[in-house]
Amino acid sequence: MDNNDPKIISEYISALSNSASICDKDKAYIIWGIEDRTHDIVGTQFKPKQFKIGNEELENWLLRLLKPRVDFHFVEVSMNDKKHCDIRNSACT
């Protein structure tokens, strides 16, 4: 996934949280910068900590608008000089 559309990201966060709960898992993940088929690290230009909606950071915007509230956070990592990012979110309760 290399999408930076806030609406789509919010839908994925909500869906993964529900799926984790249904599958009796504690967490679910969305990962940017990894090739789907090969799992190779290809990198991403998506920088969620710098992405803003108006003057509000993306993470704060999502936390404020997702109902019911979903506990998640963005993690940005560099590996082999390529940047990837993931969202780690908890299962809904």
| Arithmetic mean of pLDDT, 68-82 | 88
pLDDT at 15 (0 to 100): 93
CA distance 17 to 22: 9
| Arithmetic mean of pLDDT, 14-43 | 91
CA distance 50 to 59: 10
Q: Which candidate, 49, 65, 35, 46, places its Cα nearest to that of 5? A: 46
Residue with more model confidence, 61 or 3: 61
Q: Give yes or no for residue 93 having a pLDDT over 70.
A: no
